[in-house]
A and B are shown apart, each in its own frame.
Chain A
Amino acid sequence: MKHRMFATVLVALIITLSTGLGQAQERTDQGYYTLRDERDRVITMTGRELDPGDHYIAGDNRLFEVTGIEGDTVTVRYLETIELPAITADFHGAQVSKSDETSGVVGIYHTHNAESYVPSSGTESKDDGRGDILKVGQALAAGMEDMGLTVYWSDNSHIPHDGQAYMRSRRTATELLQKKPDTLLDLHRDATPPEIYETEIEGVPTTKVRLVVGRQNQNREANLEYAKRIKAVADDMYPGLVEGIFDARGNYNQDLGPKMILMEFGAHTTSLEQAEQAAEYFAKVIPAAAGLTTSTQGAAESQIGGGANRALVWMIVVVAVVVVGFLLVSQGKIGSLTAFFRREAGLGRDNDHEDDHK
């Protein structure tokens, strides 16, 4: 007993210590990282902590891989210039279609509902939980309703902005999923200098938008294809609107389903008005990207569905490897695998309760 308690406390200490080391690397200066390629050219900036192996698709579709981090500089390696899905349909004035395949429903929520824009509100975060980001969500919802979609926008509060915020917003996400949305969007803002996000589209000041796909879940392939489609549509309709796509660590509750995406509308250093403008543009981009308009349904289905199919194959392979690996470890011989599957299929005597089961 004493040994076990000692071991428990030891593990607790190690885990706490290792997270403490993480804390030592944490920025307290409102700092940000600059991504530079092999020739020291600036690719982008982000408040996000990156790891070697993370991928970034830049605005011009160049795909980079993070190779190292030193101080404020993240070095990236150019891999290739990717092809976004071909866009053939004319999106302008496209009509939303409701069919057997699509419900025409969109869900919007905000994990960090207190996030705000300093130039507009004088603060980067509002303690009452009614952050500026909610107004960006409202603008996006209103724009999509004008397109004929049914939008469920949640202003559920998940404050404080701590490590459990995603655990709390998961509850909002599952509530929204009960409305059977075709796509579910988690709207945030980034924390970088303004020049990364500020732009003009047809002379109108707006912020760019960055898409974030979490790779630690089974829907990553489908969601990455969705992100690429969003960028392809936006590049066609409003060139320069999408700053890039992060394909990075994390999950961001995207394990709950395909066509779930996290979007950064500007940074705390850009204005709310610019972010609302971007939301207005995105209200036209999302329906086309998600295949909710008549002319886009087939293309969206084949592309995002293709990612989903690849994910399916991966998932089945991983499950098979885990099951076989576990059985080999626990029983040590191939012969026991047949016995296991016979038992699971109800063909043999159910004797797996005998070794009950500390």
Chain B
Amino acid sequence: MSEALIAVALVWVAVSGTAVVLTPDPLRQAFVAGFFGLGLAFLYLSLQAGDVALSQIVVGAIALPLIVLLSLAKVRKERE
């Protein structure tokens, strides 16, 4: 059972990582990167590393999208 969970998590990480790289628009990339971070957190949780999974959730779903989106908003505003 736990092997199935780890396998699902690894596939999720691989697919969403590729999707992040193949997304052309930075704004959409930020959302796919958040999904990728969630997959990483699920992988760490299925490998029974609770602290690391919590850290990944807070950084990958809260701090990173915030910084990326605010930077994109600033860059787009400058361009107008």
Answer yes or no: are A and B bound together in one complex: no
Q: Interface on A for B, CB 8 Å cutoff?
A: none
Q: Interface on B for A, CB 8 Å cutoff?
A: none
